[in-house]
């Protein structure tokens, strides 16, 4: 008996984005869809359009042309403020109060605010924040000020914050930025557990390094100069040939024990 296909979480068709002040093409002719339970890697050189693409499916900006649907709602026909409440977004550049304890930072995810709105948090909401810290294996940080936590700890706290509204889509914008090796591996393990514990959750992770991808990564999209270079199941996309074409220099890709590694040789 055939199983029904997972529901579509985000869909982009014929999308283009231009910078109005300079008419610069940022994205051109993008077609892409993300389904429930898929875990995407979004890769490309600096300036390829990764952050812009993430903003589109995060309902943070609108395309210049084409259509974007997120969680069954087409941008331009929906209140994006309400839509964003169902999308988790994690970025190291997010503004959160540095002196607030980790539990308070996670609580703000329930209201989507920088500062806590204490009257909005009932006992159930407060307990959920504790539960999410436990799920991300950082419950011991509940009372520690966010600003004194390590980079890896802050990343996991921000993921817990993003999960407060039980999103269907989680966007991770370079979450491994500036992490040391142990912190990187802790975060990779946290993402692996998250995929196992929340089978319907879809994620999109922007990264520059294949070794940062957890073994649960299912799909990949390569961007080059605002266009899709390759898109599909991760094993079909993360190849030396396609990575070489995307980054414009020889790249050798290896895959072992569920993890990837990319190495670049000298141009001939």
3-state secondary structure 42-88: EEECCCCCHHHHHHHHCCCCCCCEEEEEECCEECCCCCHHHHHCCEE
Q: List strand residue ranges (DSSP E) for 73-173, in order.
A: 73-74, 87-91, 169-173
Can you give the pLDDT of all 268 residues of the chain as single tens digits?
A: 455 567 899 999 999 998 877 778 899 999 999 999 999 999 999 989 999 999 999 999 899 999 999 999 999 888 888 888 889 999 877 888 899 999 999 999 988 888 888 888 999 999 999 999 999 999 999 999 999 999 889 999 999 999 999 999 999 999 998 888 999 999 999 999 999 999 999 999 999 889 999 999 999 999 999 999 999 999 999 999 999 999 999 999 999 989 999 998 665 5
Q: Is 91 helix (H, G, I), strand (E, B) or coil?
A: strand
- The kind and range of the H/E element at 8 are strand 8-19
Domains of the chain (ranges; CATH) run 1-86+204-268 (3.40.50.300)
pTM, rounded to two decimals: 0.91
């Amino acid at each position: 008996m055939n199983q029904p296909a997972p529901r579509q979480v985000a869909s982009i068709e014929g999308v283009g984005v231009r910078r109005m002040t300079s008419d610069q093409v940022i994205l051109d002719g993008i077609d892409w869809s993300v389904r429930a339970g898929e875990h995407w890697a979004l890769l490309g050189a600096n300036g390829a359009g990764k952050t812009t693409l993430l903003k589109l499916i995060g309902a943070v900006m609108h395309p210049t042309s084409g259509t974007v649907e997120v969680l069954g709602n087409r941008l331009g026909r929906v209140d994006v403020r309400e839509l964003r409440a169902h999308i988790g977004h994690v970025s190291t550049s997010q503004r959160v109060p540095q002196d607030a304890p980790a539990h308070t930072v996670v609580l703000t995810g329930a209201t989507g605010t920088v500062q806590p709105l204490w009257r909005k948090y009932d006992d159930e909401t407060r307990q959920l924040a504790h539960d999410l810290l436990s799920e991300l294996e950082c419950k011991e940080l509940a009372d520690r000020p966010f600003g004194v936590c390590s980079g890896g700890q802050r990343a996991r706290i921000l993921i817990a914050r993003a999960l407060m509204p039980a999103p269907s889509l989680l966007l991770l914008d370079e979450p491994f930025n500036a992490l040391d090796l142990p912190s990187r591996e802790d975060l990779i393990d946290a993402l692996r557990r998250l995929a196992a514990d929340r089978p319907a959750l879809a994620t999109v992770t922007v990264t520059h390094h294949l070794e940062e991808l957890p073994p649960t990564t299912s799909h990949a999209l390569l961007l080059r100069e605002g266009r899709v270079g390759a898109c599909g199941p991760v094993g079909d996309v993360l190849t030396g040939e396609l990575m070489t074409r995307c980054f414009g220099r020889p790249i050798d890709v290896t895959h072992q024990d569920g993890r990837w590694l990319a190495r670049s040789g000298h141009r001939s």
